[in-house]
């Protein structure tokens, strides 16, 4: 579907906010589902997860990583092709949940918060430095508590998010962030359900190219684009 760029601007040192207005009806995504954005200077669509949606508008928060997102960050008007939602989504089922976000991994977790609004949701949000933080006003409305953790101690607690998880306080965990963070969480051997949102490499996003395959605990590989991008931590080997 075609979408008009309504606003696309930096919101801090590393994050951009993109609002688009879609020109036809689309299926509203579940948390974890993603869209492919077709950017003129690259061949494959680039996957981004929504932070906010309505029948007519979608908002994304993204970082500039390579050629595609760099080009995207320079677009301030015009139309862009967007397809989706793709993948399997997830809705929190338990009462007390902890969201664990690393960097731009906060994006899908903000979208997930509103699906748990009437229950107890806490957030651990880690970044390298205060300049990379998304403003608390973007997400505090949905939360009971949040803890900011910076690697250099420039705001909140100092260190890594993984140091501040108290498993005994929660029923379920939702995690999105860099691969190293996800791997550490996998090694922590939680007794309760832990859902990892994978945002690593993805090719066609249609289950055809196997570019996004991850190792399954049952042997073989699973394609993130159709079976994920959200997996219970005991399903996969990172």
Ligand X SMILES: Cc1cc2nc3c(=O)[nH]c(=O)nc-3n(C[C@H](O)[C@H](O)[C@H](O)COP(=O)(O)OP(=O)(O)OC[C@H]3O[C@@H](n4cnc5c(N)ncnc54)[C@H](O)[C@@H]3O)c2cc1C
Q: Which is nearer to ligand X, 106 or 170 (CB)?
A: 106
Residue 61 C-beta: closest distance to ligand X, Å: 6
Q: How far is the CB of 169 from ligand X (least distance, A)?
A: 27
Distance in Å, CB of 109 to ligand X, minimum: 10
Q: Please state the closest distance from residue 184 (CB atom) to ligand X, in A.
A: 19
Residues forming the site for ligand X (CB under 6 A): 34, 42, 44, 46-49, 60, 62-63, 65-69, 104, 107, 199, 201-203, 211, 229
Cβ 197 to ligand X, closest distance in Å? Answer: 7
Query: Least CB distance from residue 166 to ligand X, whole Å?
Result: 27
Residue closer to ligand X, measured from CB, 41 or 144 = 41
- 112 vs 170, which CB is nearer to ligand X? 112
Contact 70, 40 (CB under 8 A): no
Q: Which is nearer to ligand X, 68 or 156 (CB)?
A: 68
Q: Which is nearer to ligand X, 64 or 159 (CB)?
A: 64
Nearest residue (CB) to ligand X, 14 versus 170? 14
In the bound state with ligand X, the residue whose beta carbon lies nearer, of 63 and 165, is 63
Ranked by CB distance to ligand X, the top (closest) residue is: 66
Show the 3-state SS of the chain.
CEEEEEEEEECCCCEEEEEEEECCCCCCCCCCCEEEEECCCCCCCEEECEEEECCCEEEEEEECCCHHHHHHHCCCCCEEEEEEEECECCCCCCCEEEEEEEHHHHHHHHHHHHHHCCCEEEEEEEECCHHHCCCHHHCHHHCCEEEEEECCCCCEEECCHHHHCCHHHCCEEEEECCHHHHHHHHHCCCCCCEEEECCCCCCCCCCCCCCCEEEECCCCEEEHHHHCEEEEHHHEEC
Please say whether the beta carbons of 132 and 156 come within 8 A: no
Burial of 72 (0-12, 13-18, 19+ CB in 10 A): buried
59 and 72 Cβ atoms separated by less than 8 Å: no
- The distance of closest approach from Cβ of residue 167 to ligand X in the complex, given in angstroms and rounded to an integer, is 26
Query: How many Å apart are CA 177 and CA 104, to the nearest integer?
Result: 7
């Amino acid at each position: 579907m075609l979408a008009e760029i309504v606003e696309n601007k930096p919101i801090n040192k590393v994050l951009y906010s993109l609002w688009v207005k879609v020109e036809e009806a689309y299926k509203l995504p579940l948390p974890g589902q993603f869209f492919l954005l077709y950017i003129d200077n690259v061949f494959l669509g680039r996957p981004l997860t929504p932070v906010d949606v309505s029948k007519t508008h979608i908002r994304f928060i993204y970082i500039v990583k390579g050629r595609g997102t760099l080009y995207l960050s320079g677009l301030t008007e015009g139309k862009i092709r967007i397809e989706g939602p793709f993948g399997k989504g997830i809705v929190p089922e338990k009462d007390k949940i902890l969201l664990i976000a690393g960097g731009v991994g906060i994006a899908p977790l903000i979208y997930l918060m509103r699906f748990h609004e009437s229950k107890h949701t806490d957030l651990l949000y880690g970044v390298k430095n205060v300049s990379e933080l998304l403003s608390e006003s973007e997400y505090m409305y949905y939360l009971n508590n949040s803890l900011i953790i910076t690697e250099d101690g420039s705001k909140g607690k100092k260190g890594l998010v993984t140091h501040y998880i108290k498993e005994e306080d929660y029923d379920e965990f939702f995690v999105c962030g860099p691969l190293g963070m996800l791997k550490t969480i996998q090694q922590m051997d939680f007794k309760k359900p832990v859902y990892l949102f994978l945002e690593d490499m993805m090719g066609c996003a249609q289950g055809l190219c196997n570019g996004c395959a991850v190792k399954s605990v049952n042997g073989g590989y699973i394609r993130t684009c159709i079976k994920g991008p959200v997996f219970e931590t005991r399903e996969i080997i990172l």
